[in-house]
């Protein structure tokens, strides 16, 4: 009976023996005493929270979750029409390179002696070269060589250059001086000249082209990574993590590297375009890919003697290079607009 009377008694009555549950009267604005138990708790009352109540486990009405970062990135990126065009071009080149055996109507190395320097036709959509090989088939397979050099060479330069730049910027002192002096010496030599010197040492061939182009672009990534690291390492959270005793590899990998990826990603896209141009230039000079392997640079070199009689031999490979470089450059520019560190996160996303 006592329990029942205690349950039915109002807060603050003698039936409630807990001190923490007693309602303490407070003074109102007019001097009257207000019992908190009798205060109106409806959603419209000013004493309640701004947002109306919601079912348990759900956020109040009016509070929305912020979309994930990749969704915000895509929303901003798709506003750039040239960027979308560049992405579409790059993806198209990738698909063509992967599906080259399916797309190409002929073997790129197979000569057709009865169709030497033949004009574009239904059988040979872009004509044939001086050996009777289909220009369209060689362009399709040449995309593989260009992307292979661009991705592998830039991937090598990205890996080595970023590591050198991050270590140099974070360590400072003699380590920074030694690494940067070597980098400065490499940057003092023009890119194509340095590539030619390396090719003369390594020898001709596709593998050596990738090595030479990769070494040429190491200084670009090293200086970019070093500059970004010098900025990030002065942040308070890096100082705090260092004071807590975190190891240097952990600081570099977990806290500095993720915060410098934006400019590196932009530079990677632009460097792939330059690497494709470098491969085409070296192959044009006879130092890169060797016949009969199809390469856009080799095709340009072979077609320069037929610009009057068979202009399609050199024209279409040149157009392929131009479109690919245009797509990569516009893609890089769009990424720079979206990931520009000078803009606040609220403005971008």
**What's the CATH code of the domain at 304?**
1.10.3720.10
Q: Could you tell me if residue 250 is inside a domain? A: yes
Domain of residue 301 covers: 85-101+128-348
The answer to whether position 61 is within a domain reads no
The reply to whether 48 falls in a domain is no
Long-range contacts formed by 61-70: CB under 8 A, 24+ apart: 69/349
* The pLDDT of residue 101 is above 70: yes
Structure confidence at residue 340 as a pLDDT band (50, 70, 90): low
Is 300 within 8 Å of 317 (Cβ atoms)? Answer: yes
Sequence-distant (≥ 6) Cβ neighbours of residue 212 within 8 angstroms: 195, 198, 199, 202, 282
> In this structure, is residue 51 part of a structural domain?
no
Distances (CA, A) of 64 to 48, 53, 60, 305: 20, 15, 9, 65
Segment 214-225 shows an average pLDDT of 92
Residue 292 preceded by cis peptide, ω within 30: yes
**Exposure b/e, 144-157, CB count within 10 A at least 16 = b:** bbbbbbbbbbbbbb
Domain count, the chain: 1
- Name residue 33's beta-bridge partners: 27
Whether 157 maps to a domain, the answer reads yes
Strands 33-34 and 26-27: antiparallel
The answer for residues whose C-beta is within 8 angstroms of residue 83's C-beta and 6 or more apart is: 77, 330, 331, 333, 334, 335, 337, 338
Mean pLDDT value across residues 147-167: 93
| Out of 1-15, 23-37, 72-86, 127-141, least confident range | 1-15
Is 64 domain-assigned?
no
Q: Which band of pLDDT confidence, cut at 50, 70 and 90, is reported for residue 12?
A: very low
Q: Is pLDDT above 80 for 163?
A: yes
40-65 pLDDT, tens digit per residue, is 444 444 444 444 444 555 555 444 56
């Amino acid at each position: 009976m006592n329990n029942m009377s205690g349950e039915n008694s109002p807060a603050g009555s003698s039936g409630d023996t807990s001190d923490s549950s007693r309602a303490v009267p407070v003074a109102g604005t007019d001097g009257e005493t207000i019992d908190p138990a009798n205060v109106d708790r409806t959603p419209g009352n000013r004493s309640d929270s701004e947002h109306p109540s919601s079912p348990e486990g759900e956020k109040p009405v009016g509070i929305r979750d912020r979309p994930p970062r990749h969704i915000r990135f895509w929303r901003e990126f798709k506003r750039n029409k040239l960027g979308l065009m560049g992405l579409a071009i790059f993806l198209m080149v990738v698909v063509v390179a992967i599906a080259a055996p399916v797309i190409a109507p002929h073997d790129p190395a197979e000569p057709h002696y009865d169709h030497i320097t033949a004009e574009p036709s239904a059988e040979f959509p872009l004509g044939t070269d001086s050996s009777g090989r289909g220009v369209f088939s060689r362009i399709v397979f040449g995309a593989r060589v260009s992307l292979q050099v661009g991705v592998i060479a830039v991937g090598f330069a990205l890996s080595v250059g970023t590591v050198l730049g991050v270590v140099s910027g974070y360590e400072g002192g003699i380590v920074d001086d030694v690494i940067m002096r070597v980098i400065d010496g490499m940057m003092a030599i023009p890119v194509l000249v340095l590539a030619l010197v390396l090719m003369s040492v390594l020898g001709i061939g596709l593998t050596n082209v990738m090595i030479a182009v990769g070494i040429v672009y190491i200084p670009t990534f090293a200086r970019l990574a070093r500059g970004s690291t010098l900025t990030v390492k002065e942040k308070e959270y890096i100082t705090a993590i260092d004071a807590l005793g975190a190891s240097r590899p952990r600081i570099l990998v977990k806290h500095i590297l993720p915060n410098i990826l934006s400019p590196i990603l932009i530079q990677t896209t632009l460097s792939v375009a330059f690497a494709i141009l470098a491969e085409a230039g070296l192959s044009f000079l006879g130092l890169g890919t060797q016949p009969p392997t199809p390469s856009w640079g080799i095709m340009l070199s072979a077609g320069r003697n037929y610009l009057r009689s068979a202009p399609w031999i050199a024209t279409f490979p040149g157009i392929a290079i131009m479109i690919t470089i245009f797509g990569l450059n516009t893609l890089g520019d769009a990424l720079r607009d979206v990931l520009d560190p000078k803009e606040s996160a609220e403005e971008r996303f």
